[in-house]
Structure 1
Amino acid sequence: MSYMPIFTSISRGALAISLAAALAPVGAAHAQTDPAAAAEEGLGEIVVTASRRAENAKDVPVAVTAIGGEKLDALNSSGLDIRFLSARTPSLLVESSFGRTFPRFYIRGLGNTDFDPNAAQPVSVVYDDVALENPMLKSFPVFDLASVEVLRGPQGTLFGRNTPAGVVKLSSAAPTDHYTGYATASWATYNTVNAEGAISGPIADGLSFRLSGLLQRRDDWVKNDNEGGNADAELEGYRDVAGRLQLAYESGDFKAVLSGHYRDLKGSPRVFRANIFQPGSNHFVDGFDKDHVNLDGRTSQSMKQGGGNLRMQVHLDGVGTFFSTTGFEKASVESTGDIDGGGCYPYTGCTFGDLGVGTFDSNTGNGVKPEEFSQEFRFATDDMNGIRLQAGTYFFHQRLKYTEYSYDLAGTKISNILHNNTNENIGVFASGEAKLTDALTVRGGVRYTRDNKRDTITLDPALAASTISSQLIAVDLPLSNTARGKNLSWDVSATYALSPDVNLYARVATGYQGPAIQDRVTFFSVPSVAKKQTTISYEGGVKGAIGNSLRFDLSAYYWNTDDLQLTAVGGVGNSARLINVNKAVGYGVEANVEAQPIPNLTLTAGGSYNFTEIRDNAAFVAVCGSGMCTPTGSTFVDGGTTYSYLDGNDLPQAPRYIANATLRYGIPVGAGEVFAFTDWAYRSSVNYFLYSAAEFRGRSLLEGGLKIGYKSDHGYEVAAFARNITNQIRAVSAIDFNNLTGMINEPRIIGGMIKASF
């Protein structure tokens, strides 16, 4: 299936910019003051909602980092999807083997490398107070936001889904009772267009609206040198369109926001590149060229996603506030990729191990249709002489239908597996806080959770008699699996004010992830069920400010997870198998600092050290297929297959070090300022898989951005920008089932942007 971009020239891209501008700064970010205003007023305070109440970040006994305002705009300026958040806060990494439709999040080393649509992730993404469970739903574009908050450590007592690692919380800019709006558009390398706009204002007494939209697109920039296969001639382009409409109503003590959103994506799947690693090394082979691949399998990707939510609250004076949050989300996703990463094979005369050569052809895809409904009722009391309480109930229901299919070398579909899955979660929670003295505040919470999952697998009747299909499937179909779990999680914390500006805090919290089902049956996989995992986390730190020119926080943590769910991805076959290991541990330190040493200069820096280790001397997995890689851990051979023990290994995609920094300097000129903003993010080396191998130890990655422009007091801005300014290209993930296949990061993007607001 070929992909034809909607816009094929600069002139048409410019037309798209003009249309987006007709929608006519992101609404005031409550998480971070605007740098231009800060030049006169100082840093101000950061307000977060980590406790489900708006509070100063230093008063919340949770490690939390907020991104908003100009920093969020700059990071998202080059058409990237939500993966741009990776390494932009301490302990956070985001990656994908599906491109723009399937982000995987890791906090403090805890995450899930599974590539199946039913994968459970220990990091929850909460968009406008609605928890999104399916990984593909978590890919909704980031635009017109008030803030992004990253909460580290278990957050299960107050948030709607299992959150043993943490929460990424995105909050849309809200409707306003006065007319305001903005339009911003950029054009950059590869005809990359990033256009965004919003308009907000009153409709009637107490009724207001906000309409916002986004267009992101890029030309195909990777040339496919294979001329005889089924893959597109050019790859890595996309067109991603999204919109959101919000209606807000307020009358007396009653408030409500009704929100609806939609997304339409069409583009390339993740581009896999066969044999890009030097045998015995994690460096690229000679001849590697990011602009060229050799693929022969089908390549297509599309996604339509829509949903909405209704958030209501009513306040009873002197008592408290009742909240209701109703969410509904659904999507239809198609993604087909040439997962062997090659277009030539030894049995066709090519040399085993050469760049672009696969051991055998493998072309797979899936069609996924997740549908989720959630309902939360919550009551929060007013302050009762230093005591505040919250309690509520939560219900979640997911229906997930998807197909997994594969093709032969001629492009004929030879297998089609049908999945029909349900996932239901019920929770009851309560929390409270008490101000025991002027300096000491204690908090605690508890949550009871029950999970019920069922997966049913059948074979497409049209292919039931296929000999090739039966060779690929090692189990009898139809087949059903169930998983049930329940848990009581809790947290306790204390905050002590050393001074009005500096707080110490300590927190102990437990986390829970329900039992999971891996129902992949192609390539001789056998369905597996993993029992629930439980986490206990200890952390403490200091948060504060010095005057209005320095803000800081420092935390240290230790976590222990029993029965950790892990996914053995790849190996001898293109398979995924769920396992539980006895335990894993992690510990580290995290820091953030923001300073304004002089009125026009703002600096931020953040970083983390994150140690993770699997502790199970009996756990092992098969290593790479075809004997292509060089395992560096303890191995043994059984039946001709090499296995590697996991004890002592890092968790996958868990870098020891993450660091980020920004610098902004402005010089007043006329009725505005000339400014420069630069940002940098670093993550150290990572393991791609559960076992360790020389080729699959990802090299460290440093990416930087620069933006220089003029911002007028009259509401317009013009600037030039660059992302990945040093053009450092690294592998960020890999596939290990039949060759040394890797995936790379985004190349350097250079462009210009304009913005107008009122």
Structure 2
Amino acid sequence: MNSPIQYDKMRSALWGALAVSLLAPAQSALAAQIEEVVVTAQKREQGANDVGITINAFTGQQLQDFGVLTAEDIAMMTPGLTVNETAATGVPLYTIRGVGFQDYSTAASSTVGIYFDEVAMPYTVMTRGLVFDTARVEVLKGPQGDLYGRNTTAGQINFISNKPTREFEAGVIGSYGSYETFDLEGFVSGGSDLVQGRLAFKTTQSGEGWQESLSRDDELGEKDATAARGTINIDATDNVSILLSAHYVQDKSENRANSPYNGNEIGLGEFNNPYSPLDEYRLPGGDHFGETPPWYSTDDAEAADWTNSYTSPITGKTFDLRPQRDNELTGFMARINWDIGDMTVTSITGYDEFERTESNDWDGGFFTDSSNINTTDLDVFSQELRISGDTGEVSWIAGLYYSHDEMEEYYHYFMADSVFGQGSIPWGVAQFAATPILELDTKYKQETESAAVFGHVEWMLTEKWRLTLGARYTEEEREWAGCTFVAEDGSLGNFLNAQFGSTLGAGDCGTINDNPDSPDYIFNLIGTAQVNDAFQVFEDTIDTKRWMGKIGLDYALNDDILLYGTISNGFKSGGFNGANSNTTQQLKPYDEEVLTSYELGAKTTLLDGAMQLNAATFFYDYEDKQETDTAVTFVGNISGLTNVPESEIFGAELDLQWLPMDGLSLSAGIAWLDTEVTEWNAVDPDASAWPVTVTRDVSGIELPQAPEWSYTALVSYEWPVGDALSMEVAADVSFTDDTTGGPTPQRATEDYTVFNARVGIGSADGRWRALLWTRNLTDEDYYPAAYTGGNGPYVRSYGMPRTYGVTLSYFLGQ
């Protein structure tokens, strides 16, 4: 961690850069001016530079130019935002300014709130659908608990879709690129003074995978995703408008495979646990003793491996394990606005149903150390009712929020080649060699109900001073029940029966009650006829009642410079461990986390509107951060979750947009983070053995997924060619610094830089456009995620290699 002196120097440098810009001479002769971006971050339309919070906003055109296909791609455009994965379960992890949750469970709520047209997507697995027909995206940094319904601590990402128009409009955008990838997006919009409608769609297809198997002639990475949205706006009266929207996303794409590597590269042992067929390379007498396993990473993003199928030696049943997904999201949104005098009543109703069957390969090999099939059913309902008004001096919002969601997940896990399975035989692990565990069936249900009341006031104290106050009170109940059951092959039951004298069979719960205070404690029942009672479904309920709030003070130095300061806090409710479980103590709930933010910033418009320069510096007091830890169980030390008592985050950001001359545009964003865990006794996996848990003081470590530096920069130039045509060239770069894995160094990532470029020609009126583009121009081999590959190997998840293609677009009626 940097010292306070280093932090003071960094803060001084950032504010010094801002001061220099404020003293820059005005250039009244400049014709170019930056267009104001209108955002709805505070539930009403405001200029982005008039809002006293840190916002990164992107237009739909910028998303297309950057090649954004999913919500996860926004990280490449946003300093301070990272998106990675913590395991091969299909669950993306969003982190803003170092605030994230490293849990791979589908049931885990995100620290970053993700909203589509003001409707929350509380589980990140739901957000992987295509992003299309988007008006803009707003990334709000820091807790926003007073105005947003789902409890989060890091910030929000708001996706706002294009709305229906009265005039007829239509457009189509088609792209063809590397790996035989074809994208087609289109829309049609129009109507009357009473009713307007809009229909939009997008499909992404590819006929060639981008990852190549190291052990056979096979490719992985084909895409097959389609999405559609229909929207109707009804201006029922002069005072009442109704917006109805329905969306559908189907994704049958192939998933990414991992790449194992030798853990000695990062100062760990070669592997987490031994597995087959590693014995052929590491045990004396092996056919390839002393050689490097051919499935180890070659630092080539396209070189990988995976398991296509598994046949049970017990039941003879064959499972398709090829990394792929069959995800379906269906949703509906209704928004009603009713103007009553100087006030507006707004109702927003949202419902989404998500279903998936998805297979992933954790271990990155042709073997079956760790593979899984997730079957998930999710239903999410939310209702917000608010009333707002604006007197000129005072703008206010008050409202109620309710949400209810239900989740069921069946997590079928395959581990035949692990040290807990048949891999125990060559490695001489007697405990498992006689009765190896080959398959697990983890099943759980979760139901969450949340209700809140909130208020937000912006009061112009004087012409220059504005006070903002916000508060929300939330009550939430989360019920959970789950267990790791004996699969159809009975192997888990065979192992437990041999160890404890139980008589468990297929379909029975195999999670051990290791709570000493329980009458069904395993050591109370061993040797009795009731020993099966020590294996039971874990059930619990979390009740949370908490206030959160915000106070902000803005000072308009003049029409072009806004200075602001805010103190805000937010919380994220507790939850449960959805991983494979060996003991009930592993499934005990973790508590809610609380973050208090102190932020100072400035938003400036300079050079007669040709430049915008925004800066912010902040300090986070982070209590009870939810984090991964080690669970000490009978079969060994495996995945667990806990709370980190105290952490701190310092940071600063700069955001620049500049039009130095007609046609030339420059933009850049930079984020700096300094994170530290100040209090935490984490489990020591080397010293702990069930039922004894030993902890160690890890205070002083950095938070995971918190790069010290990250930045983006873009330069583009557009010029006329004759009276009818326009040419453009553009290039951008994004840099993400290395990260630590917190207490688990195998989750650390190296720094990487990605360059993109494009050149295009189009009509001067914007009706048509042709664009040649390349992404990851230098073919950088980088991995935004790394972790333990299930049981045995350490793995890395690589980003896409260099791609290139052409995009053609045509619009009518604009």
Please give the range of the TM-score, normalised by the shorter of the 2 chains: 0.7 to 0.9
User: Residue by residue, what CA displacement relative to the aligned partner does 1:266-321 show, whole Å, maximum 9, x if unpaired?
Assistant: 1223312222665346999774443333333522322011101001101122x210
Distance 1:362 1:462, change over 3 A: closer
Amino acid in structure 1 at the alignment position of 2:564: Y
Out of 767, 774, 778, which is 1:726 matched to?
778
Which residue matches 2:672? Answer: 609
Aligned to 2:574: 515
Q: Is 2:724 aligned against 1:738? A: no
Aligned equivalents of 1:675, 1:290: Cα separation in 2: 31
The amino acid of 1:339's aligned partner reads W
DSSP-derived class of the 2:399 partner: strand
C-alpha contact 1:431 1:443 (8 A) present in aligned 2: yes
Partners of 1:139 and 1:391 lie apart in 2 by: 32
CA separation of 1:516/1:551 partners in 2, compared to 1, >3 Å: closer, same or farther?
A: same
- Change in 2 beyond 3 A, CA 1:618/1:644: closer
Confirm whether residue 394 of structure 1 aligns to residue 405 of structure 2: no
**Cα displacement string for residues 722-758 of structure 1 (whole angstroms, at most 9, x for unaligned residues):** 0111111112212324222111111111111101011
Superposition pairs for residues 289-438 of structure 1, below 5 Å?
Answer: 289-296=300-307, 298-299=321-322, 300-317=324-341, 319-344=342-367, 361-383=369-391, 385-407=392-414, 409=416, 414-438=439-463
Which residue of 1 is the match for residue 756 of structure 2? 705
Structure 2 spans left out of the alignment, 5+ residues: 1-29, 271-294, 310-320, 422-436, 497-509, 514-534
Q: Tell me if structure 2 keeps the 8 A contact 1:122–1:513.
A: yes
Percent of aligned positions that are identical: 24
1:122 aligns to what?
Answer: 111
Change (3 A) 1:638 1:170: same
Counterpart in the other structure of 2:544: 485
Secondary structure of 2:77 counterpart: coil
Task: Give the match for residue 235 of structure 1.
Answer: 220
1:212 aligned to which of 188, 200, 204: 200
CA 1:441–1:406 in structure 2 vs 1: closer, same or farther (change >3 Å)? same
Distance 1:99 1:240 in 2: 20
Runs of 5+ consecutive residues of structure 1 not aligned to the other structure? 1-38, 345-359, 624-635
Matches of residues 106-121 of structure 1 in structure 2 within 5 Å? 106-121=95-110
In the alignment, which residue of structure 1 is the partner of 2:277?
Answer: none
Q: 1:469 to 1:574 in 2, by over 3 A?
A: farther
Q: Does the 8 Å CA contact 2:511/2:537 hold for their aligned counterparts?
A: no
- Pair 1:257 & 2:220 matched: no
Q: Where does residue 47 of structure 1 map in the other structure? A: 38
CA distance in 2, matches of 1:662, 1:99: 33
CA contact (8 A) 2:657 2:665 kept: yes
Aligned to 1:650: 702
User: One-letter code of the match for 1:134?
Assistant: Y
Deviations 1:561-589, CA, capped at 9 Å, x for gaps: 11111123799979432201111111110
1:524-603, aligned counterparts within 5 Å?
Answer: 526-546=586-606, 547-568=608-629, 575-603=638-666
TM-score normalized with structure 2 length:
0.79
Partner Cα distance (1:320, 1:110) in 2 = 37
* Pair 61,102 (structure 1): closer, same or farther in 2 beyond 3 Å: same
Change (3 A) 1:102 1:362: closer
Letter in 1 for 2:66: L
C-alpha contact 1:613 1:649 (8 A) present in aligned 2? yes
Q: Secondary structure at the match of 1:496?
A: strand
Q: Distance in 2 between matches of 1:136 and 1:216?
A: 19
Shift of 1:362: 2.1
What secondary structure is seen at the aligned counterpart in 2 of 1:622? coil
Instruction: Give 1:175 deviation, angstroms.
Output: 0.6
Matched, 1:506 2:506: no
Aligned partners of 2:126 and 2:354 also within 8 Å:
yes
Contact 1:158 1:429 in 2 (8 A): yes
Q: Cα 1:239–1:382, aligned 2, differ >3 Å: closer, same or farther?
A: same
Q: Distance in 2 between matches of 1:570 and 1:521?
A: 11
1:642-677 deviations in whole A, cap 9, x for unaligned?
Answer: 976431111111111110011110121121211012
Q: Is the 8 A contact 1:455 1:481 kept in 2?
A: yes
Q: 1:503, CA displacement in angstroms?
A: 0.8
Alpha-carbon separation, structure 2, partners of 1:98 and 1:381 = 46
2:53 match: 62
Whichever residue aligns with residue 223 of structure 2, its letter is: Y
The SS at the match of 2:61 is helix
1:617 to 1:125, Cα distance in 2 relative to 1, 3 A: closer
Contact persistence 2:91–2:105 (CA under 8 A): no
User: In structure 2, what is the Cα distance between the partners aligned to 1:114 and 1:167?
Assistant: 19
Greater strand fraction, Structure 1 or Structure 2: 1
Residue of structure 1 equivalent to 2:290: none
Whether the aligned pair in 1 keeps the contact of 2:451 and 2:474 (CA below 8 Å) is yes
1:177 Cα deviation (Å)?
0.7
SS at match of 2:64: helix
SS of the residue corresponding to residue 707 of structure 2 reads coil
Secondary structure of 1:71 counterpart = helix
1 CA distance for matches of 2:810 and 2:631? 48
> Over residues 219-277 of structure 1, what are the superposed CA-to-partner deviations in whole Å (9 max), with x where a residue is unaligned?
222222445xxxx9321222111110000111311111100001111122331222266
- Contact kept, 8 Å, 1:667 with 1:673, in 2: the verdict is yes
Q: Which residue of 2 aligns with 1:680?
A: 733
Q: Partner letter of residue 330 of structure 1?
A: E
1:622 aligns with 2:685: yes
Alignment coverage as a number of residue pairs:
682
1: distance between equivalents of 2:463 and 2:201?
46
2:357 partner letter: E
Kept in 2: contact 1:98–1:270 (CA 8 A): no
Greater shift after overlay, 146-155 or 279-288? 279-288
Q: Take 1:376 and 1:370, find their aligned partners in 2: how far apart are those partners?
A: 20
In the alignment, the residues of structure 1 paired with residue 571 and residue 353 of structure 2 have an alpha-carbon distance, to the nearest angstrom, of 25
Take 2:87 and 2:681, find their aligned partners in 1: how far apart are those partners?
Answer: 32
Tell me the residue number matched to 1:5. none
Q: Match of 1:517, SS?
A: coil
Q: SS at the partner of 1:521?
A: coil
Q: Which moved more, 1:496-505 or 1:213-222?
A: 213-222
2:468 is paired with a residue of what secondary structure? strand
Change over 3 Å in CA distance of 1:446–1:469 after alignment to 2: farther
> In structure 1, how many angstroms separate the alpha carbons of the residues matched to 2:697 and 2:214?
39
Q: Deviations over 1:514-572 (max 9, x none)?
A: 12122433466821211111111100111020112011110010011111111237999
State the secondary structure of the residue aligned to 2:127: helix
Structure with larger Rg: 2
Pick from 159, 168, 179 the counterpart of residue 179 of structure 1: 168
Give distance in 2, aligned partners of 1:523 and 1:480: 15
Per-residue CA distance 1:89-120 (angstroms, 9 max, x = gap): 23111123578953211111001121111112
Alignment RMSD: 2.7
Please say if residues 88 and 681 of structure 1, whose CA atoms lie closer than 8 Å, have aligned partners that are also in contact. Answer: yes
Distance in structure 1 (CA, Å) of the matches to 2:494 and 2:226:
37
Instruction: Please give the alpha-carbon distance, in whole angstroms, between the structure 2 residues aligned to 1:477 and 1:562.
Output: 33
- Deviation of 1:709 (Å): 0.7
Mapped to 1, the partners of 2:122 and 2:637 lie a distance apart of: 25
Change (3 A) 1:311 1:367: same
AA paired with 1:153?
Answer: G
Q: Secondary structure at the match of 1:530?
A: coil
Q: How does 1:627-646 map to 2 (within 5 A)?
A: 645-646=697-698
Change (3 A) 1:416 1:334: same
Question: 3-state SS of the aligned residue for 2:704?
Answer: coil
Which residue does the alignment assign to 1:75?
66
